[in-house]
Amino acid sequence: MQKTIRMLVLVALVFFSSLAIKAEEDEFVVGMECNYAPYNWQSQTETAYSVALDGSGYCDGYDVRIAQDIADSLNKKLVIKRIAWDGLQAALDSGEIDAIIAGMTANEDRENGIDFTTPYYDTDMVMIVRKDDELADATSINDFSYKNVVGQISTNYDTVIDQIPNVNHMTPRESYPEMVIALKSHEADGITAEVPVAESIVSANDDLTYVTFAEGQGFDIDNSVSIGLKEGSRGTEEFIAVQEALDNISQETRLEYMTWASENAPSETNEIDGSFIDKVITIAKEYYPIFLYGVYTTLILAIVGTLAGLLIGLLLGTLKAISIDPQDNLFKRVLKKILGLFVNFYVWVIRGTPMMVQAMFVYYGFLRPVLGWGVMSSGLLIISFNTGAYMAEIIRSGIQSIDKGQLEAARSLGMSYKSAMFHIILPQAIRNSFPSIGNEFIVNIKDSSMLNVIGVIELFFETKSVAGSVSLTTETYFIAALIYLFLTTLATWILNYTENKINPNNNLKKV
Amino acid sequence: METIIKVEDLHKRYDDLEVLKGIDLAIHKKEVISLIGSSGSGKSTLLRSINLLEIPDKGRIYYHDKDILDKSIDIDNYRSHVGMVFQNFNLFNNLNVIKNCLIGQIKVLHKDHKEAMDSAVYYLKKVGMGDFINADVNNLSGGQKQRVAIARALCMEPEVLLFDEPTSALDPEMVDEVLQVIKQLASDGLTMVIVTHEMAFAKDVSDTVCFVSDGKILEKGSAQEFFEHPKEERTKKFLSRFLK
ipTM: 0.93
The three-state DSSP-derived secondary structure of chain B is CCEEEEEEEEEEEECCEEEEEEEEEEEECCCEEEEECCCCCCHHHHHHHHCCCCCCCEEEEEECCEECCCCCCCHHHHHHHEEEECCCCCCCCCCEHHHHHHHHHHHCCCCCHHHHHHHHHHHHHHCCCHHHCCCEHHHCCHHHHHHHHHHHHHHCCCCEEEEECCCCCCCHHHHHHHHHHHHHHHHCCCEEEEECCCHHHHHHHCCEEEEEECCEEEEEEEHHHHHHCCCCHHHHHHHHHHHC
- How confident is the model over A176-189, as pLDDT tens digits? 888 888 899 899 99
Q: In what order do the strands lie in the sheet with A168-169?
A: A168-169, A148-150, A190-194, A125-130, A208-211
Question: What is the pLDDT, as a whole number, of residue A16?
Answer: 61
Residues contacting A115, CB < 8 A, separation 6+:
A228, A229, A230, A231, A232, A233, A234, A239
Query: What are the phi and psi torsion angles at A474 (to 5°)?
Result: -60, -50
Question: What is the pLDDT, as a whole number, of residue B144?
Answer: 94
Whether the predicted pLDDT of A507 surpasses 70: no
- How confident is the model over A421-451, as pLDDT tens digits? 999 999 999 999 999 999 999 999 999 999 9
CA B17 distance to own-chain centroid? 24
Q: Which CATH number among 2.40.30.200, 3.20.20.80, 3.20.20.450, 3.40.190.10 corresponds to the domain A15-122+224-269?
A: 3.40.190.10
CA distance B37 to chain A (A): 23
Considering only CB atoms, A409 lies closest to which of B55, B92, B107, namely B92
- How confident is the model over B185-208, as pLDDT tens digits? 999 999 999 999 999 999 999 999
Contact A419 B107 (CB under 8 A): yes
Closest residue by Cα to residue A227 from A26, A29, A456? A29
- The share of chain A scoring above pLDDT 90, in percent, equals 43
Q: Is the dihedral of CA B83, B89, B95, B98 positive or negative?
A: positive
Contact A428 B77 (CB under 8 A): no
What gap in Å lies between CA A373 and CA A217, rounded to an integer?
Answer: 45
At A302, which helix (H) or strand (E)? Answer: helix A276-321
A-chain CB neighbours of B108 within 8 Å are 413-415, 419
Confidence of residue A19 (pLDDT cuts 50, 70, 90): low
What gap in Å lies between CA B150 and CA A450, rounded to an integer?
Answer: 55
DSSP annotation string for A401-458: TS-HHHHHHHHHTT--HHHHIIIIIHHHHHHHHHHHHHHHHHHHHHHGGGGGGGT---
Contact A406 B103 (CB under 8 A): no
Domains of chain A, by residue range, sit at 15-122+224-269, 125-211, 284-502
Among left, alpha and beta (phi > 0; psi -120 to 50; other), residue B219 is beta
Whether the predicted pLDDT of A511 surpasses 60: no
What gap in Å lies between CA A111 and CA A80, rounded to an integer?
Answer: 23
Per-residue pLDDT tens, chain B, 244 aa: give them.
789 999 999 999 988 888 999 999 999 999 999 999 988 888 999 999 999 999 899 999 999 988 998 888 888 999 999 999 999 999 999 999 999 999 999 999 999 999 999 999 999 999 999 999 999 999 999 999 999 999 999 999 999 999 999 999 889 889 999 999 999 999 999 999 999 999 999 999 999 999 999 999 999 999 999 999 999 899 998 888 876 5
Contact status, residue A68 vs residue A245, Cβ threshold 8 Å: no
Fold that domain A284-502 belongs to in CATH: MetI-like fold (1.10.3720)
Average pLDDT over residues A252-265: 84
Contact B77 A415 (CB under 8 A): no
Mean confidence (pLDDT) of chain A: 86
Whole-number CA gyration radius for chain A: 27
Question: What is the pLDDT, as a whole number, of residue B35?
Answer: 94
Query: What are the phi and psi torsion angles at B36 (to 5°)?
Result: -125, 165
Closest residue by Cα to residue A361 from A390, A385, A388, A339? A385
At A193, which helix (H) or strand (E)? Answer: strand A190-194
Whether the predicted pLDDT of A235 surpasses 60: yes
What is residue A310's DSSP assignment?
H
Closest residue by Cα to residue A30 from A246, A232, A253? A246
Tell me how far apart the 2 most distant CA atoms of chain A are, in Å: 92
Q: Is the dihedral of CA A111, A113, A117, A120 positive or negative?
A: negative
Beta strands in A25-138 (DSSP E): 27-32, 35-36, 40-43, 51-52, 58-60, 77-82, 99-100, 114-121, 125-130
Whether the predicted pLDDT of A154 surpasses 80: no
Question: What is the pLDDT, as a whole number, of residue A1?
Answer: 65
CB atoms within 10 A of CB A410: 25
* CB-count exposure of residue B203 (10 Å: 0-12, 13-18, 19+): middle
Contact A431 B94 (CB under 8 A): yes
Residues of A contacting chain B (CB within 8 angstroms): 326-327, 329, 403, 405-406, 408-416, 419, 423-424, 427-428, 431, 505
CA distance B98 to chain A (A): 15
Q: CA-nearest residue of chain A to B75?
A: A414
Contact B104 A415 (CB under 8 A): yes
Strand A58-60 with A51-52, pairing: antiparallel
Contact A423 B107 (CB under 8 A): yes
What gap in Å lies between CA A337 and CA A324, rounded to an integer?
Answer: 8
Question: What is the pLDDT, as a whole number, of residue A320?
Answer: 85
Fold that domain A125-211 belongs to in CATH: D-Maltodextrin-Binding Protein; domain 2 (3.40.190)
Whether the predicted pLDDT of A21 surpasses 60: no
Confidence of residue A271 (pLDDT cuts 50, 70, 90): low
* CB-count exposure of residue A504 (10 Å: 0-12, 13-18, 19+): exposed
CB atoms within 10 A of CB A280: 19
- How confident is the model over A67-113, as pLDDT tens digits? 999 999 999 999 998 888 878 887 888 788 899 999 898 888 888 88
What gap in Å lies between CA B218 and CA B224, rounded to an integer?
Answer: 17
DSSP annotation string for A329-352: -HHHHHHHHHHHHHHHHHHHHHHH
CA distance A405 to chain B (A): 5
Q: Residue type for A400, please? A: Q
Question: What is the pLDDT, as a whole number, of residue A12?
Answer: 64
Closest residue by Cα to residue B100 from A428, A434, A502? A428
- Helical axes B142-155 vs B172-187, angle rounded to 10°: 20
Confidence of residue A326 (pLDDT cuts 50, 70, 90): low
Query: What are the phi and psi torsion angles at A129 (to 5°)?
Result: -135, 170
Fold match, A15-122+224-269 / A284-502? no
Instruction: Tell me, yes or no, if the pTM score tops 0.80.
Output: no
Contact status, residue B207 vs residue B187, Cβ threshold 8 Å: no
What gap in Å lies between CA A400 and CA A387, rounded to an integer?
Answer: 20
Question: What is the pLDDT, as a whole number, of residue B186?
Answer: 93
